[in-house]
């Protein structure tokens, strides 16, 4: 993408691998007087309804250039825009480009690619800021066959159209059709488990006032489980806590209720329900790489020669367990666009990401929080053991967790680390990862901020703490 030439540019990329998520402001705000939507974003870092309309138009125009027929685009949204200001802006932009809109309304993110595949749509917009605070909005965009957008699949062309400011209206405005497909979606996600073998488990589910509150009742009503619902009413202001269960403070109430109800499992969805996190019967949050390990084991017990993906921040236990069961473990860079692309390329049965995304080949190579939750319930039913016992043998290593450092010259810091630790095994698929016999670390530059993201794992707690402080000292000096 060409560097922004607007005065006072923030240097922000227009879109990352997971779409756009930024704080919103009305286009009519006095502070934006005289600025174009492009300038508002690139200079001030805000999204307006005009930005959403024009960027949706650019996406749809790029789709139309690639398709011989008039493209159709699925559009859904989360609850954070009850007046429809941004939702309607996206629909207008798509239609002005001449593409037809298949509107599925308020929906979990995984429903968009599912419906695209059912209807052979060429694109999909999910209007959401996912787990971000209430004042944020944005969208995730998917191409035909649920392929995520990337620089290799048209992102540069889209940004070029948008930055040019030259918008040519289609001679024929796209049509809009409204659809309700929840029952087909429920049948699809339930096909991943044997419903008849599910035990009467006691489960607490925290929907965080997000999309999990819409889809979960439809799905879990088909199971014999006893469920306690937390924060299921849809409310885009997220009044109870942020819809980001990656943060420990946002699963506090879930932990408390799991213990109070003596539940077998706690489940926490993020705002658009594509990510999911789990709490054990002991009220302890479970690391996502251990959950990925359980799901991978389940797949490999049935088909031992399958491939499984894991992101390079995940524990070594995944690779060890996959290979122990006869599978092939493949390391991926971080980011849903990259993992989905690699999952498709390798035809892998499953992939897990430390951020709580779980990817399934039979879900059109895309991620799904609800399918991951169903797989864990099926595993608990089959094993007939508490989840804390199932993950206990997987806790072999000690991890630092992801630590961010504000760094202006990210490249020079990574070169410094490569030179310092040149005796280790270097991997460069995503920043740098350097492995030694008893510890490893990864440092990745943020695509959108002046940050280096750091993760480290070691065989002992003392070694982890020693090496964590050592590497961080080099990064921050």
- Give, in degrees to the nearest 5, the angle at Cα 470 between 468 and 476: 95
Residue with tokens 């799905």: 219
Contacts of 470 (CB under 8 A, 6+ apart): none
| Cα 423 off chain centre by | 34
Name which of 180, 142, 192 is nearest 368 in CA terms: 192
Q: By CB neighbour count within 10 A (0-12 exposed, 13-18 middle, 19+ buried), where does 66 fall?
A: middle
Are 96 and 58 in contact, with CB atoms under 8 Å apart?
no
Q: How far apart are CA 310 and CA 333, in angstroms?
A: 9
Residue with tokens 């961080």: 472
- Give, in degrees to the nearest 5, the angle at Cα 228 between 224 and 231: 135
Residue with tokens 């695509």: 447
Q: Is 150 a catalytic residue?
A: no
Number of helices and strands in the chain (H, E): 15, 23
Q: How far apart are CA 64 and CA 12, in angstroms?
A: 27
What's the N-to-C CA distance of the chain in angstroms? 32
Q: By CB neighbour count within 10 A (0-12 exposed, 13-18 middle, 19+ buried), where does 31 fall?
A: exposed
From 130, 314, 373, 381, the catalytic residue: 130
323 phi/psi in degrees, rounded to 5: -70, -35
Ordered alpha helix ranges (H), 174-237: 182-190, 212-220
Name which of 251, 256, 323 is nearest 288 in CA terms: 251
Q: How far apart are CA 265 and CA 254, in angstroms?
A: 10
Are 371 and 360 in contact, with CB atoms under 8 Å apart?
yes
Contacts of 137 (CB under 8 A, 6+ apart): 21, 22, 24, 47, 52, 80, 81, 86, 127, 128, 129
Q: How far apart are CA 459 and CA 463, in angstroms?
A: 7
Q: Which residues pair with 269 in a beta bridge?
A: 276
- Give, in degrees to the nearest 5, the angle at Cα 150 between 143 and 308: 85
Length of the chain, in residues: 477
Active site members: 130
């Amino acid at each position: 993408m060409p560097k922004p030439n607007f005065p006072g540019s923030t240097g922000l990329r227009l879109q990352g691998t997971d779409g756009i998520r930024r704080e919103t402001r009305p286009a009519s705000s006095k502070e934006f007087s005289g600025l174009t939507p492009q300038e508002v974003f690139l200079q001030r870092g805000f999204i307006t309804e005009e930005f959403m309309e024009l960027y949706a138009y650019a996406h749809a125009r790029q789709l139309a250039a690639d398709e011989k027929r008039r493209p159709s685009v699925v559009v859904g949204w989360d609850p954070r825009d009850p007046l429809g200001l941004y939702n309607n802006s996206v629909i207008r932009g798509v239609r002005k480009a001449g593409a037809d809109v298949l509107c599925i309304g308020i929906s979990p993110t995984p429903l968009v690619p599912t419906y695209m595949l059912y209807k052979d749509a060429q694109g999909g917009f999910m209007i959401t800021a996912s787990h971000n605070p209430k004042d944020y909005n944005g969208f995730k965009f998917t191409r035909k066959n649920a392929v995520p957008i990337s620089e290799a699949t048209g992102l540069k062309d889209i940004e070029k159209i948008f930055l040019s400011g030259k918008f040519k209206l289609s001679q024929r405005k796209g049509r809009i059709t409204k659809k309700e497909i929840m029952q087909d979606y429920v049948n699809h996600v339930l096909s991943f488990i044997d419903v008849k073998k599910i035990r009467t488990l006691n489960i607490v589910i925290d929907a965080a006032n997000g999309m999990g509150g819409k889809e979960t009742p439809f799905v879990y009503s088909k199971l014999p489980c006893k469920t306690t619902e937390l924060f299921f009413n849809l409310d885009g202001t997220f009044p109870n806590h942020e819809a980001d269960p990656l943060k420990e403070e946002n699963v506090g109430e879930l932990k408390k209720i799991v213990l109070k109800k003596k539940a077998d499992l706690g489940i926490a969805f993020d705002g658009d329900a594509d990510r999911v996190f789990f709490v054990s019967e002991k009220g302890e949050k479970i690391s996502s790489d251990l959950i990925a390990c359980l799901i991978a084991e389940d797949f490999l017990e049935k088909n031992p020669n399958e491939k499984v993906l894991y992101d390079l921040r995940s524990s070594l236990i995944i690779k060890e367990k996959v290979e122990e069961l006869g599978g092939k473990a493949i390391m991926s860079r971080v980011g849903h666009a990259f993992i989905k692309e690699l999952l498709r390329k390798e035809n892998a049965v499953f992939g897990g990401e430390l951020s709580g995304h779980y990817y399934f080949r039979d879900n059109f190579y895309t991620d799904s929080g609800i399918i991951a939750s169903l797989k864990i319930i099926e595993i608990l039913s089959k094993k007939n053991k508490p989840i804390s016992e199932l993950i206990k043998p997987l806790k072999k290593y000690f991890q630092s967790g992801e630590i961010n450092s504000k760094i202006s010259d990210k490249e020079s810091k990574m070169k410094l680390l490569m030179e310092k630790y040149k005796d280790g095994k270097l991997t460069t698929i995503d920043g740098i990862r350097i492995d030694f016999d008893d510890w490893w670390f990864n440092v990745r530059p943020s695509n959108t901020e002046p940050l280096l993201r750091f993760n480290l794992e070691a065989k002992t707690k003392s070694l982890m703490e020693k090496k964590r402080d050592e590497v961080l000292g080099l990064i921050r000096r």
